[in-house]
Copies of this chain bind each other. A is one copy, B any other.
Amino acid sequence: MSKPTERDIARIRARQAREDFNIFSRLPAVYAASRSQGQKFLQHGGGLSIVEWRTLWDLCEVGPMTIRDLAAIQRADHSLLSRALPEMRRKGFVTMRRDAEDGRQMIVEIAEAGRAAYETAAPVMARRRAALRAVFSEEEVNQFVGYLDRLEDFLRTPIDEFLKEDTAE
């Protein structure tokens, strides 16, 4: 009975219900849903990709910056930007120039087509944030973000610390 050969629907349901409380297993689904919804909104706002949107938004809000800066703001790996930017330049969304003072850095700046694309997408994305605010109060967002902070902190702890201890389960 601990190893039935037939599909057991009750057990499947039970497993599903239990996994609802497994944070590790919830995260991918929530993130995927967020990405998917974001892409749909962007589709209605001119067809930018998520990376493009985030980058144009950052550049419009704060002005020119390096690839590293963009990655830091977006909490993403720099390679993601490094790969996306040449195509954005080709589209006329941004300009890129090597920093005169520090030859390692690349300074990215918004260009005309980029500002236009941003202005098309921005109102739609503002709607999205407004819709979220209708669901979560400011206080709740703060609490939620507090949990995310703590979780991220946990997730970035080197794993040796957990594996060394002698207490399991």
Contact = CB atoms under 8 A, between A and B. Distances in A.
Majority-rule SS of A interface residues: helix
Contacts of A29: 75-76, 152
Interface residues of A, number: 83
Interface string A146-163: 011111101110010011
A7 B126 contact: no
A168 B25 contact: no
Contacts of A109: 5
A21 to B, nearest CB: 5
Interface of A: 3-8, 11-12, 14-16, 19-38, 40-41, 44, 54, 58, 61-66, 69, 72-76, 107, 109, 123-124, 126-132, 135-136, 140-145, 147-152, 154-156, 159, 162-163, 165, 167-169
Contacts of A107: 7
B30 A152 contact: yes
B128 A162 contact: yes
Contacts of A15: 58, 61-62, 73
A64, A132, A162 — most chain B CB neighbours (10 Å) = A162
A159 B28 contact: no
Given A15-B73, A44-B163, 8 more contacts: A4-B64, A28-B35, A33-B152, A36-B155, A37-B156, A127-B169, A129-B169, A130-B168
